[in-house]
Each structure stands twice: as structure tokens, then as C-alpha cells.
Amino acid sequence: MAVHYCSLCRRTSFTGRRHLYSTGHRRRLREALEKLQEEVGAGLGWVRDPPGPPPGALLTLLPSRSPEHRRETARFLRENRAEAALRERLVLSEEDRGRLAVVLTEALGAYEEQEEERIQQIAASIREAERRQRDTVRAALQVGAGPAASSSVTIPPRDSSHNTEQPGPSSVQTGPDLNWMESGQALTFIGHQETEGKGNVHTGAKPPWLTEEDEGDGSEKQIGPSYEEFLRQKDKQKLKKLPADRVGANFDHASQTGDSWLPSFGRVWNHGRRWQSR
């Protein structure tokens, strides 16, 4: 028998096209067509009498406007041996397709109007926020300019050649006060305070790549562990490979042991002749 793959059942049948007449295939085909028929019916009901916004079932009717979709639908129904009455329910007529085009155009126009209104509202809210921000900044500048205007210093009269009025507020001092020495406040010059080798390149210090390092200076620190520390760590790594419950594993090799660590037994030959210790 020929091998046949059914895309609806998603299985391979070794009985050829006899699979199209099997009970399982007919049941799956009937369930799929009933679900599609419900969606098409809901979409057609809204197209013929649109009560409100388009439902989600209307998306099922959008591909049916093309001739290719109608040909593929007819081929699917023919190959799966569907009933002839279902073809009329699933394929849109010429009148329904024309009505669908008109309804879609009206729905698209209404959607564009709603989007335009929403964009206008967003733009108005943005303009209102910018206006409030400008008012806040202007009020802050006015509050800051009040004390500065009241504490301004009167500029002494200048030569007639410089009496021409300059643009800008005339009551605000725009330059440094050159008569600050007339107030009687004397200052003492203590010299230029410069620290050699400190600061940065902007304060006159040498950059680090131009400073000379003394090789004989004992302040140099060794980078990394020493050789003795390396050997101790290596010994520790060797001890980790040994069994943990071995004899003397917990012995402290750094402890100091005196001469009296042995127990004192009686009549032990410690010194002198052996017969004298008996």
C-alpha cells in the first residue's frame, strides 16, 4: 500500500488514501470545519448588520477576499472529501465580499479618526506640561533675581567716552568691583602655596609618567605571595589528598614540647650504672 501523510491528523498512514474515509479523520475534519464555520458565521453576521466595533472573528474573513484563498479552500475540501454543503458556508459570495470591503473601509476610517483624536490629546497634554515647566522656571528666575537686584553695588561715574548705554539691565553689576580696596580692608600676601608632586596636571603637578621612581627605595612592596608562602600552600595541598582520619592528622606541629613529656616510671635507668637503678 502507498504511504500517505495527512496534514490534518498530522500522521502517516500506510493504507494510502483510504485514511481519508477513516473514522478518526472524519471526526477531526468535522471538528475543524465546525469551528471555522462558527467564526465565519460570526464575521458574516457582523458584515451584514454591523452593530458596533468589528469582532475578532472578522479576521477570519480577511484572507477569503483573495482568489488564491478561495482556490486553496476548495482544494482542501475536495482532497479531504468534505460535504458539498459546507463549501457554500465557508466560501464567501461575491455580494458578501463587496459588503466586506465597504465595512472594512468604514472601520479603517473610524479607527484613523480615533487615532487622530488620541494624538491631538497627547499633543495638548505635552504642550500643557511644557507651559507649566516654563512658568515654573520663570518664577524661579524672578525669585533669584530679586535679592541680586537689591544688593547691587552702584558703579562710580566713568569718563564721558564710556557713558554710552549698553544693552541689558543697567541696575545690575555686570563686572567685578574694582573699588574693593577703598573699604579699608587690607589683605596680606602669604605667597604662592604650591605643593611639589601633589595635585594634578591642571594645578601644575607632574604627570605620573614623568615622575622618577627611586629603585633603591625600600618602600616597594612585593606583589603576590612569597616563595615560602608558596611552599607552605603546596604542602597544604598535598595534605588535602591524604585521608582525613589518618594517625596524627590533627597534630599541631607548631607546638613546643619540653623534655618532661615522657611519663615518669619507677626504677627507670636514667643515669649512673644500670645495677644502681634496680
Residue with cell 541696575: 171
Residue with cell 582520619: 245
Q: Is the CB of residue 42 less than 8 Å from the CB of residue 49? A: no
- Sorted by where each begins, the domain ranges of the chain are 29-114
Provide the whole-model pTM. Answer: 0.32
Per-residue burial over 238-271, b = 16 or more CB atoms within 10 Å of its CB, e = otherwise: eeeeeeeeeeeeeeeeeeeeeeeeeeeeeeeeee
The model's pLDDT over 190-238, given as tens digits with 9 standing for 90+, comes to 766 666 556 777 777 787 788 776 555 555 667 888 999 999 999 999 9
Q: Provide the greatest CA pair distance for the chain.
A: 138
> Which stretch of 108-112, 131-135, 255-259 has the lowest confidence by average pLDDT?
255-259
Which one is predicted more confidently, 134 or 89?
134
Question: What local confidence, expressed as pLDDT, does residue 228 receive?
Answer: 92
Q: Write the CB contacts of 201 (distance below 8 Å, at least 6 apart in sequence).
A: 207
